[in-house]
Amino acid sequence: MPTYVYACKDCGHGLEVVQSFTDEALTICPECQGNLRKKFNSVGVVFKGSGFYRNDSRATTSSATPATSESKPSEAAAAPAPAAAPAKESASA
């Protein structure tokens, strides 16, 4: 369960409370009965393993770069497909 930090708007008293996500936020200061506000803190993140930077984001070395294709593109891909001829109308009356 996360720990939330509250601060009183009136007296400045601060407190940390372990609450569930479904619990209602505290609104009354236990010291002066004033209004509490929820403070936002940075989130603790732990990266484990080889990491995004090493695997995905980092520039690749020359030995790991894929070879560029020097072959010509296939003619089927280069030439557009011929247009279909319009169908002939039958003269039945």
pLDDT tens, position by position, 39-61: 987 777 777 766 666 666 656 66
Q: Residue 80: its pLDDT value, please?
A: 62
How confident is the model at residue 71, as a pLDDT?
A: 54
55 in a domain, yes or no? no
Residue 46 lies in a domain: no
Residue 72, domain member (yes or no)? no
* Residue at 10 is within a domain: yes
Q: How many domains does the chain have?
A: 1
CB atoms under 10 Å from CB of 63, counted, come to 5
Report the pLDDT value the prediction gives residue 1, as an integer from 0 to 100: 80
Query: Is 16 domain-assigned?
Result: yes
Q: How confident is the model at residue 16 (pLDDT cuts 50, 70, 90)?
A: very high
Full domain range(s) for residue 14:
3-31
- 32, 23, 78, 24: which is closest to 7 by C-alpha? 32
Its pTM stands at: 0.45
